[in-house]
């Protein structure tokens, strides 16, 4: 059995105590643990060794590092896909979604960074006259914070989740200590081995903690930051950690999100926009066994279109075979290790307000499988529909009036989401709903016949666009091009002689 290691203070440290399972067979495939590790020393190592080395590099040099890392990880792609199947229960397609997302994000940030020049700062907007003449001038710039970025990642995307955070931190010049979700850590551990063996990241610029975070947060200070993806309950514990509050340590949280899809009353079954909605909904229910933070949990459908939607969605889902993720024609895999009980319990709670119209059963035999499940709400106002996220292949169709104001009100009852998808060819309806839901969502995906043939699905997080959401979704923000560097840099206002400021701290605006 594989014993996974942590990489801290410049060396590897084996650990044990936490078993990792294959969710298809239930077999134990590895173990990890962090007992006895000196996490205070790891924090110092990152700050004192990794930080100065990264900050000594120019933006183009850091960009070249990211590009080379993308290539190094791509070289072990097939191995990672096998590990994603063994420990995550991923189909090959699900594994590609994770691994290729990781390398693609590294490559994207490499392209962003190579245009930034050799400056040790980023310009932030135009300069402004502060006195009677332009001689007294002001500028805003962003400089890297001399601390450590602690990344606590979720179990569902061990590759992409780790690299999308790291890409932003490294390009900003900040060292990383990455902690994966323990139950699916095999993929993250193999990537960590690849990073260290490549020698591309300066010593101290990357550390890897496989197991419990222990007392790690006790050692962070005002220049450090914690970026967390996971449950709202854990996010709250991190936000309220006494040392983080006392030190003013930055915390970025991406938490639960009861994402919604809204179909407009102008849609007609069989139209291009209708078919786009069907394809995306089926993908969201089945991809990664529904275990995506961007997956649709509530599907709002005008009352007179509900029966047609349920029939067509059922037909679409019939095309998705559930089974062993190692078989090429399998489209629906088991949920991740240790998650099936929560998924089944959540489904039972949803049944209080909705009836199952498709799926909803666990097959006999080994494996953490649940049939792709669609429910129909009996009451659109039922609180459980808008407050419970069942993190599996489960989604609920919620009939509504079709009016823009009702769509907006019901969607926003989720309390804040990562993404909401709208399907309509009615510009007035779409504009009204977009403006109504925008304050409560990090991203609004607008589907219509004009973009149907070229659209990427709403569940796909792109490095060019912001990922995060307000309220229940955690209030955090990641990616978004160079906006992703904001968390790792300090915005500072400079005031002085215009010639000096423009000459020493000017430059092209951020791309």
pLDDT given for residue 509 in this prediction: 44
Whose structure tokens read 């101290």?
A: 204
The 8-class DSSP code of residue 332 comes to: B
Query: Residue 338: what pLDDT?
Result: 86
CATH superfamily of 2-255+476-505: Aldehyde Dehydrogenase; Chain A, domain 1 (3.40.605.10)
Which pLDDT score is estimated for 479?
96
* Residues carrying CATH 3.40.309.10, the chain: 259-462
Can you give the pLDDT at residue 478?
A: 96
Q: Specify the pLDDT at position 508.
A: 53
- CATH 3.40.605.10 boundaries in the chain: 2-255+476-505
Q: Which residues of the chain have pLDDT under 50?
A: 509-511
Residues near 228 by Cβ (< 8 Å), separated by ≥ 6? 152, 234, 235, 238, 251, 252, 253, 254
Say if residues 115 and 14 touch (Cβ distance below 8 Å): no
* CA 485 – CA 167 distance, rounded (Å): 9
Q: H or E stretch including 395?
A: strand 394-400
Catalytic-labelled residue, pool 5, 31, 164, 254? 254
Four-way CATH pick for 259-462: 3.90.190.10, 2.60.120.10, 3.40.50.11540, 3.40.309.10:
3.40.309.10
Cβ neighbours around 186 below 10 Å, total: 25
5, 293, 389, 478: the catalytic one is: 293
Mean pLDDT of the chain: 95
Report d(CA 398, CA 409) in Å as an integer: 13
| Cβ partners under 8 Å of residue 272, min gap 6 | 449, 452, 453
pLDDT of residue 93: 94
Tell me, yes or no, if 293 is annotated catalytic. Answer: yes
Q: How far apart are CA 463 and CA 481, in angstroms?
A: 6
Nearest to 206 by CA among 165, 244, 250: 165
Share of the chain above pLDDT 90, in %: 91
pLDDT at 256: 86
**E strand map for 316-440:** 354-358, 373-377, 394-400, 417-423
pTM summary value: 0.94
pLDDT at position 507 is 66
């Amino acid at each position: 059995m594989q014993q996974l290691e942590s990489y801290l203070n410049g060396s590897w440290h084996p650990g044990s105590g936490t078993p990792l399972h294959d969710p298809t067979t239930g077999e134990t495939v590895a173990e990890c643990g962090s007992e006895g590790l000196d996490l205070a020393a790891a924090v110092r190592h990152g700050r004192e060794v990794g930080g100065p080395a990264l900050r000594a590099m120019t933006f183009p040099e850091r960009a070249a590092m990211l590009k080379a890392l993308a290539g190094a990880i791509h070289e072990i792609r097939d191995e990672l896909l096998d590990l994603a199947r063994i420990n995550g229960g991923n189909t090959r397609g699900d594994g590609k979604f994770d691994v290729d997302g990781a390398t693609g994000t590294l490559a994207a940030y490499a392209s962003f960074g190579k245009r930034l020049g050799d400056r040790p700062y980023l310009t932030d907007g135009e300069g402004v006259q502060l006195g009677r003449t332009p001689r007294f001038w002001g500028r805003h710039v962003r400089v890297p914070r001399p601390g450590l970025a602690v990344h606590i990642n979720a179990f569902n995307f061990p590759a992409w989740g780790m690299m999308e955070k790291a890409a932003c931190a490294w390009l900003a010049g900040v060292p990383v200590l990455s902690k994966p979700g323990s139950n699916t850590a095999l993929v993250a551990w193999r990537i960590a081995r690849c990073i260290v063996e490549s020698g591309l990241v300066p010593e101290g610029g990357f550390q890897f903690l496989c197991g419990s975070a222990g007392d790690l947060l006790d050692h962070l200070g005002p220049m450090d930051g914690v970026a967390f993806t996971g449950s709202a309950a854990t996010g709250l514990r991190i936000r309220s950690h006494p040392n983080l509050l006392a030190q003013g340590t930055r915390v970025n949280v991406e938490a639960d999100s009861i994402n919604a899809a809204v179909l407009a009353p102008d849609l007609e079954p069989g139209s291009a926009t209708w078919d786009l909605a069907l394809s995306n909904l089926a993908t969201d229910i089945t991809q990664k066994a529904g275990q995506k933070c961007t997956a649709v949990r509530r599907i709002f459908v005008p009352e007179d279109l509900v029966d047609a939607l349920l029939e067509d969605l059922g037909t679409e889902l019939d095309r998705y075979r559930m089974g062993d993720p190692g078989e090429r024609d399998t489209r629906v895999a088991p949920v991740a290790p240790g998650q099936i009980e929560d998924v089944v319990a959540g489904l039972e709670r949803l049944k209080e307000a909705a009836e199952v119209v498709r799926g909803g059963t666990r097959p006999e035999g080994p494996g953490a499988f649940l049939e792709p499940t669609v429910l129909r709400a009996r009451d659109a106002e039922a609180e459980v529909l808008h407050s419970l996220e069942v993190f599996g292949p489960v989604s609920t169709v919620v009939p509504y009036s079709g009016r823009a104001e009702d769509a907006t009100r019901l969607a926003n009852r989720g309390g804040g989401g990562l993404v909401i998808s709208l399907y309509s060819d009615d510009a007035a309806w779409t504009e009204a709903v977009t403006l109504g839901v925008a304050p409560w969502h990090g991203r609004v995906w607008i589907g219509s016949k004009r973009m149907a043939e070229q659209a990427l699905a709403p569940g796909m997080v792109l490095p060019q666009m912001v990922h995060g959401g307000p309220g229940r979704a955690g209030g955090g923000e990641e990616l978004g091009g160079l906006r992703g560097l904001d968390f790792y840099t300090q915005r500072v206002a400079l005031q002085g002689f215009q010639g000096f400021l423009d000459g020493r701290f000017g430059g092209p605006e951020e791309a």
